[in-house]
Amino acid sequence: MIIGRLVEVNDKYYAILNLKHPDGRRLQKRFDLELPVPNNKRRAQEKLNALCAEYTRKQQVEQNRPNVVLILRWPGLRNASRRFLRPPTATTGTWWSIT
């Protein structure tokens, strides 16, 4: 779960989220909520909750992504992996004749 807080800077609300970098480091990201401070505390809190929920979903998707997808995204391996994962056809005969 992503945790955030509201801050007031120059009569505007900002949301600061505590995120986790893919390599494990922690980082803070600041979002301008585009709300003036007077009479908007509840709206700012609702926007903060929505941001936290959105980034929590993104984090869960990234954690559940299989490593095979990441390997296929490497520039040189995409075409090579398709060549090796292709099923044999009548012209190739066996898996070993593909290479």
Under the banding of pLDDT at 50, 70 and 90, the label for residue 73 is low
Indicate the average pLDDT of the chain.
77
Residue 20 has a pLDDT of: 84
Quick check: 63 pLDDT over 80? no
Q: The whole model's pTM is what?
A: 0.60
Quick check: 81 pLDDT over 60? no
Quick check: 41 pLDDT over 60? yes
Domain assignments of the chain as residue spans, ordered by start:
3-79
Under the banding of pLDDT at 50, 70 and 90, the label for residue 62 is confident
Query: DSSP for 36-89?
Result: ESTT-HHHHHHHHHHHHHHHHHHHHHHHHS-HHHHHHTSTTHHHHHHHHHSPP-
